[in-house]
Structure 1
Amino acid sequence: MRKIIKFLFFSLLVMLFLSGCNSNDTNINNNIFKFKDSFVGDNSAVGNIANQLPGAEHLNGFELKTNEEPYGIILNYDWIESEEEFKETVVYNATFLFTLVQNVDWITFNSDIREYTITKEILQEWYGKELSEVQNEDELRELVQECETLQIQELSAHES
C-alpha cells in the first residue's frame, strides 16, 4: 500500500512539474486578441485591454465617451517619468486599442507630463493600413516596430 501511495505522490509531482514547464503564457497579454472587435461602450473589455498594455501600472482610470459620435476613450496616467517613454507608450497603446476596439475614433492620453489626443484616422495613415485588418498580436507588434520612429516624430507634431 505504501508503494502505491509513493508512486501516486511521485506521479502527481511529475505532472505538476511538467504542467508548470508547459506554460503557454504569451507574457504581455494573456491573449489580448480575445478582445478583438470589442466596442468602446464595453467598459470591461476596454479596461482589460488597457490593463494589459505597457504603462498599466501608471493607469489611474479611464473614461468612455459614448454619448455622441465620434466615440472616444480618455486614459489617465500618473506618469512622471520620461516624456519620450510616454510617447512610445501612447503610440503602442493607441495602436492596440484602435485595432481591438472597433468603434473608437479618438483616444486621449492624460499624464502629469503632457496630454496627447490621437485619432484612428491619423494612426492608420501612419501605418498605411486599416487596423481592423490586423488579425493577431504578432502581426500588430511587427507593424508597430516598423513604424515606431516615424510615429513618435509625427505624434510630437500633433501634440495637443
Structure 2
Amino acid sequence: MRKILIAVMLLAASLFITGACSPLLEAEETDLLEYEGAVVGNNSAVLNTLNRLPGAEYFTGFELATKQQPYGITASYDWGQATPSDKETAAHNATYLFTLIDNVDWVQFDFDTGAGVEQYRLTREQLQAWYRVDLTGIDEQEKLEELLEQYLDDDQKIDALLTQS
C-alpha cells in the first residue's frame, strides 16, 4: 500500500511540475507579431520584443527617444561572452523592431564587447531600401523570417548595410 501511495504522489508531483512549466514554454513560442502596431512610447511592448529577439540573453537595457521626432530606440547588450555576430543580430533585430513598432524612425544597438562598444544605428528608410520592402506591410512572421533568410546569409551585405549608417 505504501508503494502505491508513493507512486501516486510522484505521479501527482510530476503532473504539477509539468503543468506549472507549460505556460513558460508557450510564452517562448508566442508569435512576435502580437506586438505589431505598437508605438515607441509603449515600454512594455518594446521590452517584450527585445527580450524575445536574438541576443536576448545578453540584453542589458534600452532607452526610448520619444520627446521629439524622429523617434528611436537604443538597445544595449553585454556582448563580451557572446558568440553570435553582433552585426547580424543588429540587422535582424532592427528588422523586427521596424516591422512591429509603427512610429520608430531609428534604432541603435550598443554591443559592449569588453574591449569597447560597437554601435550600429539604422533608420527605417535605410533598412527598407536595403530590403526593397515596406516593413510595415509584413503581417506574418513566416514572411518576415523568409525575408531575413534571404538577406542575412551574406556577411558582406550586412557589412555594407551597417557601414552606410
> By how many angstroms is 1:80 displaced?
1.9
Q: 1:88 to 1:43 in 2, by over 3 A?
A: same
Deviation for aligned residue 1:157: 1.9
Match of 1:147 in 2: 151
Tell me by how many angstroms 1:83 deviates: 8.5
Shift of 1:98: 0.4
In structure 2, the partner of 1:7 is: none
- SS at 1:90 equivalent: helix
Question: What amino acid sits opposite 1:79 in the alignment?
Answer: W
Instruction: Give unpaired runs (5+ residues) of structure 2.
Output: 1-11
2:96 corresponds to 1:92: no
1:134 to 135, 138, 146: 138
Give the distance between the partners of 2:157 and 2:133, measured in 1 at CA: 14
Q: CA deviation at 1:31?
A: 1.3
CA RMSD of aligned residues (A): 3.1
1:111 Cα offset (Å): 1.5
Contact 1:77 1:111 survives alignment (8 Å): yes
Q: Which residue is equivalent to 1:157? A: 163
Which residue in 2 is equivalent to 1:37?
A: 37
Secondary structure of 2:120's counterpart equals strand
- In 2, distance between residues paired with 1:82 and 1:137? 26
Change (3 A) 1:76 1:29: farther
Identity of aligned residues (%): 39
**What is the number of residues matched between the two proteins?**
149
For residues 100 and 107 of structure 2, the distance between their equivalents in structure 1, rounded to whole angstroms, comes to: 13
Q: Is the 8 A contact 1:62 1:75 kept in 2?
A: yes
Shift in alpha-carbon separation, 1:123–1:28, aligned structure 2, 3 A: farther
CA distance in 2, matches of 1:139, 1:34: 15
Matches of 1:65 and 1:29, distance apart in 2 = 29
Q: For residues 39 and 29 of structure 1, do their structure 2 counterparts lie closer, same or farther at Cα, with a shift above 3 Å needed?
A: farther
> Residue 122 of structure 1 aligns with which residue?
126
For 2:89 and 2:108, how far apart are their aligned partners in 1?
12
* Gaps in structure 1 of 5+ consecutive residues: 1-11
Q: Paired residue for 2:69?
A: 69
> Do 2:87 and 2:159's aligned partners in 1 also have CA atoms closer than 8 Å?
no
| Between 100-109 and 77-86, the greater mean CA deviation after superposition | 77-86
Q: TM-score, normalised by structure 1?
A: 0.79
